[in-house]
Chain A
């Protein structure tokens, strides 16, 4: 079998056949079809699990190359690889994913670091809003108005001390926001359908990167 068929036409045909089958299975209640669809779903899960390992290998190759070639900021690549393999080794000590060392790394380093980084966002957003949200034109003024309404609505003291702010905030979220979100969801869904049809027909080949 030619290599070009395996790299281009083969994956395209396979994708189209599997996708059409799953679409047909979704609309037709048949136990045999459901059995095959379940098998395909479980296969996707297994491939997904393999991708995690593939990601680790890929990262190792890229950052090892950075270190060997002493590219700019190579110490960060070394730092990343050390952390990656320390965590990997800790996680492989039985019981898998539940041993003392792995839990210590997760509970005492990873878990506090994540919210700490996210909490920094509050400082940056507020100082940026202080400088940027000014009544310069109609659009910014409207944005400022709705920002203030929603912020005060989300702060319990807002509706507690001035109930109309709660009603106005709820109206913004339930009416205006819902309408806009529905429009966005519809557009995204239509785009996804169009993209899916293109993949089914083999027109879209982005997932065959390098071979399509």
Chain B
């Protein structure tokens, strides 16, 4: 068997080991590889910067299951909102139970920005019905929910008493999404009927499907994947999970490129070798 054939038939465990070693090495010591700030990240940053303290933003969580990449963008935008003194109202359309607790209390830490639950942020909990739930929140917020996720009457909170049933009271809707109803639901229930600005956050995988809506300005901005998250963290001056993840991401990109290059070179050599090129 020629070298080219051996390379093409390499044991996949060697590939798995290479992947593990590369990620491990690049996670140990950050190299600080610069990231490119995309226009959709800049648009999101400028939108948050244009808000005034006390303005309100609606967060529609459609994430289930949850990985760090899916919530990284939402975390950094929420940090920016807290820094600017913007009030947030959260609700979920999926049953990933303590998602907002985990994000707000363990990652964003609104109390460190002086934000208080009930006065500066509210969690309405899980709203059933997927897109019907989104529609109910958009059309009749105060009639749809009466207690928060913890079972407390919303009327006791000052932020709830400031809210009305007009969806346009929110300056924009942040949509961390990966699942149904996700992007399409937020577009149909908030952007099209009320003209609300929408900002999407999710994994890099969602960038392609959301791009047509950003290009037509139905989506105002996006933070998709770790590179966008790292760029946003640089803009607000708070390095976090995005910045930590760019080095392993770069390493993986180079590894995949290298593997594809090697396998194709081996394939071409094998083909050029002709009939005698391989031995079974």
User: Measuring CB to CB, which residues of chain A are less than 8 angstroms from any residue of chain B?
Assistant: 26, 34, 37-38, 41-42, 44-49, 52, 91, 95-98, 102-103, 106-107, 111, 114-115, 118, 122-123, 126-127, 129-131, 133-135, 144, 147-148, 151-152, 154-160, 166, 170, 173-174, 177-178, 181-182, 185
Contact = CB atoms under 8 A, between A and B. Distances in A.
B264 A155 contact: no
A45 B128 contact: yes
Nearest to B38: A170
B66 interface: yes
B12 interface: yes
B34 interface: yes
A186 B97 CA distance: 34
Nearest to B207: A173
Contact of A151 (B68, B129, B251, B256): B256
A49 B128 CA distance: 6
Contacts of A44: 129, 132
A48 B215 contact: no
Q: Main SS of chain B's interface residues?
A: helix
Nearest to A102: B97
Nearest to B205: A154
Contacts of B251: 155, 157
Nearest to A160: B34
Nearest to B210: A181
Contact of B254 (A38, A41, A123, A155): A155
B27 interface: no
A38 B140 contact: yes
Given A123-B16, A154-B225, A160-B35, A48 B151 contact: no
A38 B34 contact: no
Nearest to A119: B67
Given A48-B130, A130-B259, A134-B264, 4 more contacts: A45-B144, A135-B267, A154-B225, A160-B36
A154 B128 contact: no
A106 B144 CA distance: 27
B203 to A, nearest CB: 10
B139 interface: yes
Contact of B66 (A114, A133, A155, A185): A114
Contact of A134 (B36, B252, B267): B267
Given A41-B136, A42-B144, A182 B212 contact: yes
Contact of B230 (A47, A156, A159): A156
Interface of B: 8, 10, 12, 15-16, 19, 33-36, 38, 65-68, 95, 97-98, 102, 127-130, 132-133, 135-136, 139-140, 143-144, 149-151, 193, 204, 207-209, 211-212, 215, 225, 227, 230, 246, 249-257, 259-260, 263-264, 267-268
B36 A95 contact: no
* Chief secondary structure at chain A's binding surface: helix
B10 to A, nearest CB: 8
Contacts of B102: 107, 111
7 contacts: A41-B136, A127-B12, A127-B15, A134-B267, A154-B249, A155-B252, A178-B215
Contacts of B264: 133-135, 144
A99 to B, nearest CB: 11
A157 B253 contact: yes
B232 to A, nearest CB: 13
Contacts of A47: 129
A111 B227 CA distance: 23
Contacts of B12: 127, 130
Contact of A154 (B33, B132, B209, B253): B253
B211 A173 contact: yes
B97 A131 contact: no
